Amino acid sequence: IKSTAIDSSRLDATGIFLHEAAAKVFTCEAKAMAALKAGRIQAGDIVVLAGIGPMGTGMEETAQLTIALKHLPFGHQVTLITDGRFSGVSTGACIGHVGPEGLADGPIGKLRDGDLLRVRIDCARLEGAIDFLGQAGRPLTVEEGAAELAARRRHPEIAPHPQLPLDTRLWAALQQASGGTWGGCVYDADEVEKRLGVHRESV
């Protein structure tokens, strides 16, 4: 989260950003861009872009979407949550590298349109949380929401890109084996060797 990209008008007196809304879920950037161009993404929306982590697309950069939001008058009022990545071109609350990614059966990959989400970011303490709170007319506590997500199946449209290069697939597998996006963007060779049962003689 680039907290400095969050418009100051969206923060309370203590530097806390709070956004609660129904999610609009997309499984590729092209579909999200089509919705944006068609006016189906509006101020106050929470956009979830899932399935584009290392295992999905090699963790592509969501540049088209973040650039579009930056130049739209209401862009700072849209929250973006993705298991992909974005560069410095971001506005509003952009939350990336979410892990476990959708293809690793992380919670982001189990979200559906209409799911009620609450995003809270403390820009002073550099802490944040995303909570699933059920759906309209069927509110859940944070604990109930976590249990429901854990029991759900992955979004049916989330799948690896069919043209993902072999070297990217290998990198994604190594990265996942060494802890996934929770462990960072690069894989931990020591952890991968440990999981593969490779024993290296110390010199």
| Catalytic residue chosen out of the listed positions 9, 87, 178, 202 | 87
CA distance 149 to 146: 5
Where do the H-state alpha helices sit in the chain? 29-37, 54-57, 63-71, 142-151, 166-177, 189-196
Question: Would you say 141 and 131 are in contact if contact means Cβ atoms under 8 Å apart?
Answer: no
DSSP secondary-structure letter at 67? H
Is 87 part of the annotated catalytic residue set? yes
CA distance 203 to 66: 48
- Nearest 5°: the CA angle 180, 118, 63 is 55
Q: Is 61 exposed, middle or buried (0-12, 13-18, 19+ CB in 10 A)?
A: middle
Q: Is 95 exposed, middle or buried (0-12, 13-18, 19+ CB in 10 A)?
A: buried
CA distance 98 to 17: 18
Active site residues: 87
